[in-house]
């Protein structure tokens, strides 16, 4: 991992969402230098499902060698931000670095995104980042360090990243547009950059989205913290950049990225908003144990057209011959469902399949011992998944990962996203038997 250099000793960092996850990891990395950290987060009382509060984070920061100021801050509330900024200046004499990390997520389509979820994402992600930056900037401009770092993605206009979760993408890109605008507006005074992980990162949010076992497909928050440390110790002339953690750390001389893996050697999920040459991505996944069919499936994507910025966008699903019939696949699935799978999943999945073997099927992993069948399930489905029959068979034979199917637009999901992502674990259990 990237060693500390002591460059942040005595500096004051204002970090939103720092009670856990990526925000806390960045705080702990800075604390090892002897930095002051303002923990601007909502959780002041223990949460039944999420570990950590602003006070437990403060204890960890001080144990690591830093000084901490825990502040109850909901970035949707301007006055709470302003109060925390005032306390930070009174206690530490100023603010040198702002990390806009707090964020809300709902991976839902347009028709499934409620006004409440829309308002949450827009106000926490875009508006919260903008307001926190605005309120910290007068003090950042007085600092010799002067950095704003937003945990947000590069502005990739490939429609794939909009079609399945338009509202979430708009809200995250709002954070990135703050980088684009403020970097130019305050050039020479305050550095403004964005940082985004190349792979999924194991956080409490990821646990809720992916369910048990998803951590094996993730990297630890340490990799984002190391990349953030590298950016924040650069001169303020380093500004207006959209940085990917692995890319930056490679330039810094890091060669072994297994040290950042939750399960070294296990394939990791690529993060959203990043395009990569499909053959290159396939070979990397094969080298980590994925089926060679992943590359075959990618190559078999039908016609392409050139989208914004020259991006290649698939217009059709795979037209290659299915690997096995849908009916046979469901028969095998039913034969290996057991009470443990039902107990750990607790969901009813409805599949709306198109193509040669199109039709409606379901997997009940919620009631009694579980079962499968054609047509509508006997109880209301928790998740509705739409895809081609060919891609369905590929997914359940290990040739197409559910996460990749969703991210590439081959799989459309309605309903409980957390349950939908748990299907990845089931698919991995079935792959060797199908």
Q: Flag residues of the chain having pLDDT under 50.
A: 277-323
For residue 71, give the H/E element and its range. Answer: strand 67-72
CA distance 97 to 279: 39
Choose among 173, 46, 181, 85: nearest CA to 122: 173
168 has catalytic annotation: yes
Give how far Cα 82 sits from Cα of 42, 155, 244, Å.
Answer: 14, 29, 31
Give how far Cα 366 sits from Cα of 342, 362, 384, 385, Å.
Answer: 6, 12, 15, 17
Sign of CA dihedral 26, 127, 207, 249: negative
Residues 30-53 pLDDT 10s = 999 999 999 999 998 888 877 889
- Of residues 55, 130, 168, 173, which has the active-site annotation? 168
For residue 174, give the H/E element and its range. Answer: helix 166-185
pTM for this one? 0.74
Name residues whose C-beta falls within 8 Å of residue 360's C-beta, 6 or more positions apart in sequence. Answer: 350, 351, 352, 353, 374, 375, 376
For domain 12-279, give the CATH number. 3.40.50.720
Give how far Cα 295 sits from Cα of 33, 242, 277, 405, 430, Å.
Answer: 44, 28, 11, 13, 20
CA distance 155 to 242: 8
Q: How is 380-410 classified by DSSP, letter by letter?
A: --SEEEEEEHHHHHHHHTTSS-HHHHHHTTS
Q: 242-244 and 304-306: which strand pairing?
A: unpaired
- The answer to whether domain 12-279 and domain 326-431 are alike in fold is no
47 alpha carbon, distance to own chain's centre: 21
* Other Cβ atoms within 10 Å of 39 Cβ, number: 30
Residues 235-254 pLDDT 10s = 999 999 999 999 999 999 99
Domain ranges of the chain: 12-279, 326-431
The verdict on domain 326-431 having CATH code 3.30.1050.10 is: yes
CA dihedral 157, 163, 165, 169 (to 10 degrees): 10
What is the predicted pLDDT for the residue at 324? Answer: 53
CA distance 259 to 3: 13
């Amino acid at each position: 991992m990237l060693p500390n250099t002591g460059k942040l000793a005595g500096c004051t960092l204002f970090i939103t969402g720092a009670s856990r996850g990526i925000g806390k990891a960045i705080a702990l990395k800075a604390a090892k230098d002897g930095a002051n950290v303002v923990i601007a987060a909502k959780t002041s009382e223990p949460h039944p499902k999420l570990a950590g509060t602003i006070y437990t984070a403060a204890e960890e920061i001080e144990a690591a060698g830093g000084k901490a100021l825990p502040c109850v801050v909901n970035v949707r509330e301007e006055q709470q931000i302003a109060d925390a900024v005032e306390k930070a200046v009174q206690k530490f004499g100023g603010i040198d670095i702002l990390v806009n990390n707090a964020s809300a997520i709902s991976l839902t389509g347009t028709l499934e995104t409620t006004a409440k979820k829309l308002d949450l994402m827009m106000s926490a992600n875009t508006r919260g980042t903008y307001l926190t930056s605005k309120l910290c900037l007068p003090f950042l401009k007085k600092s010799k360090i002067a950095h704003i770092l937003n945990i947000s993605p590069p502005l990739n206009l490939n429609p794939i990243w909009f079609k399945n979760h338009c509202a979430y993408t708009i809200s995250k890109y709002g954070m990135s547009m703050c980088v684009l605008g403020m970097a130019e507006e305050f050039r020479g005074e305050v550095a403004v950059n964005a940082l985004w992980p190349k792979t999924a990162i194991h956080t409490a949010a990821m646990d809720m989205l992916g369910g048990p076992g998803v951590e094996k497909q993730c990297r630890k928050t340490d990799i984002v913290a190391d990349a953030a440390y590298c950016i924040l110790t650069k001169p303020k002339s380093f500004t207006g950049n959209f940085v990917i953690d692995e890319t930056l750390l490679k330039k810094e001389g890091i060669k072994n990225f297994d040290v950042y893996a939750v399960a070294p050697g296990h394939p990791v999920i690529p993060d959203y908003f990043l395009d990569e040459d499909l053959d290159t991505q396939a070979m990397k996944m094969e080298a980590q144990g994925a089926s060679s069919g992943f590359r075959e499936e990618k190559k078999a994507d039908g016609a392409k057209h050139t989208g914004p910025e020259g991006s290649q966008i698939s217009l059709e699903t795979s037209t290659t011959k299915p690997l096995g019939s849908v009916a046979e696949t469901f028969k095998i699935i039913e034969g290996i469902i057991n009470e443990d799978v039902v107990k750990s999943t607790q969901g009813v999945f409805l599949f709306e399949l198109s193509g040669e073997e199109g039709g409606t099927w379901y997997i009940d992993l919620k009631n009694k011992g579980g079962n499968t069948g054609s047509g509508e399930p006997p109880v209301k489905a928790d998740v509705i998944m739409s895809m081609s029959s060919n891609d369905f068979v590929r997914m359940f034979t290990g040739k197409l990962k559910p996460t990749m199917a969703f991210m590439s637009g081959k799989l459309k999901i309605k309903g409980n996203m957390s349950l939908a992502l748990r299907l990845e674990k089931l698919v991995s259990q079935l792959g060797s038997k199908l």
